[in-house]
A = this chain, B = another copy of it.
Amino acid sequence: MTFIKKPIFRHPSLPKNDLGLTYRDYEGLVSTLCAGCGHDSITASIVQSCYDLSLPAHKIAKLSGIGCSSKTTNYFLNQSHGFNTVHGRMPSVATGANLANRDLIYIGVSGDGDTASIGLGQYCHAIRRQLNVTYIVENNGTYGLTKGQFSATNDKKSKNKKGADNPFGAIDLALMAIELGAGFVARSFSGDKEQLVPLIKKAIAYNGFSLIDVISPCVTFNNHPHSTKSYDYIREHNTAMGELDFVPEKENIQAKYSEGESVDVTLHDGNSINLQKLDGNYDPRDQDKAVSILRKYRGEGKVVTGLLYINEDANEMHETLKTSTTPLNAIPMNDLCPGIDELDKLNKSYT
C-alpha cells in the first residue's frame, strides 16, 4: 500500500525460532498490493511457514511469473534470491534453477492467469517431471494486474467488473495436477491461515511437485449489485466516469472453520463461495478418491479444501534423471572438463 521502506527496527522481545531468527527476518518489502488483497494474506502464511520451519532463507529460491500474485515474491523472504520471470513461464525457469542446484528449496508463486492461461503448458509439464517445487497459485479468478478480465479458473456463472458473464468453464488446476501425476496437491483459502500454514509447511517438506491452489479474493472484483448502498454509489460513479479508478480500501477476508466443516465466505464482490474442509479421516493417498471428491464437490458448487492427494513414493525430477547428488552448479570445472587425453582419443575417433 505504500512504497516507503519498512523500518528495520526489531523489537528485542520478538520470539525467535530455532535459528535464532524472528518472524520479521522472514519478511520482504512492503506490499504494493491493494488493501485487502488476498495475496497479502498468503504472503503472511509463507513468512509464517518459513519462520516456523526455521528455514535458512538464503537456501530458498522464490520464483514467479507476472501479475499481482507474482509480485508477492518481493514481499517475503528478503534474504532469498528472487526471480520475477516472464508471464506464465515461471515453471521452466524454476526447472532450470532446480536442475542447477537440487539442494535449494524452491517456492514458485503464480496467479490463475499466469498458470491456467498463458502458462498452462509449462505448468502441466513441470508437474509431469515432478519438479521439486512448492507451487502456490494465488487464485482469484481474474487478471488483477491488467484490471479484471476473466481468468480460466473463473466459474462459468460469475460476472466480471463490468457485469459481463464469464462465457467459458473453469479449469480446475488441482484436478489437473492430480491427473498429471503431481505428488502433493492441496487447496486452501487465503483467509484461513490455520489451514494454509500447515499445508505450506508440508508442501515445502515434500520431495516433488507440490501444488497449493489458494483461493485468494481480489478487491477490484467489485461489482455485485447486492452490496451496500455506499458501495453501489461508488460503482455507479465509476461507471458514469467510464473508468474503474477508485478502489476502496478493504479488509482481508478471514475464514475460520474446522475439519469436516463447511463455511460460506462472502467475497468483496458480494458473491460467496462455499468452502468444504476435508475431514480428519480423509486418506489423501488414494488418487481415485481425490479425483472423485474433487469432482463431487465441484458438482455441488462447493470448493473442497485441505490436502487432497499425496504420493509418498513419487520420484522427483533428479531421481528420474539420475543427476549427481552434488548439485551441478557445485561441481568444479576440472571435474567437468574431460581434458587433453580424452580429446586425443576423440580426435582419433574422428579420423
Contact = CB atoms under 8 A, between A and B. Distances in A.
A295 B178 CA distance: 12
A125 interface: yes
A181 B169 contact: yes
Tell me how many chains of this kind the complex includes: 2
Interface string A134-177: 00000000000000000010000000000000011101100110
A30 B305 CA distance: 56
A133 to B, nearest CB: 16
A175 B291 CA distance: 12
Contacts of A180: 169, 171
A175 B179 contact: yes
A118 interface: yes
Contact of A179 (B167, B168, B176): B176
A120 B120 CA distance: 8
Interface string A275-301: 000000000000010011001000000
Interface string A302-321: 00000000000000000011
A289 B257 CA distance: 33
A225 interface: no
A268 interface: no
Contacts of A117: 121, 125
Interface string A80-118: 000000000000000000000000000000000000011
Contact of A124 (B120, B125, B320): B120
A201 interface: no
B291 A168 contact: no
Interface size class of A (residues with CB under 8 A): 20 to 34
Contacts of A124: 120, 171
Contact of A167 (B118, B176, B321): B321
A232 to B, nearest CB: 25
A202 interface: no
A193 interface: no
Nearest to A165: B320
Given A176-B179, A295-B288, A128 B168 contact: yes
A235 interface: no
Contacts of A128: 152, 168-169, 171
Contacts of A291: 291, 295
A128 B173 CA distance: 13
Interface of A: 117-121, 124-125, 128-130, 152, 167-169, 171-172, 175-176, 179-181, 288, 291-292, 295, 320-321
**Which A-B residue pairs are the 7 nearest by beta carbons?**
A121-B121, A120-B121, A167-B320, A169-B181, A128-B168, A120-B124, A129-B168
23 contacts: A117-B121, A117-B125, A119-B121, A120-B120, A120-B121, A120-B124, A121-B121, A124-B171, A128-B152, A128-B168, A128-B169, A129-B168, A167-B321, A169-B181, A171-B180, A172-B179, A175-B179, A176-B176, A176-B179, A179-B179, A288-B292, A288-B295, A291-B291
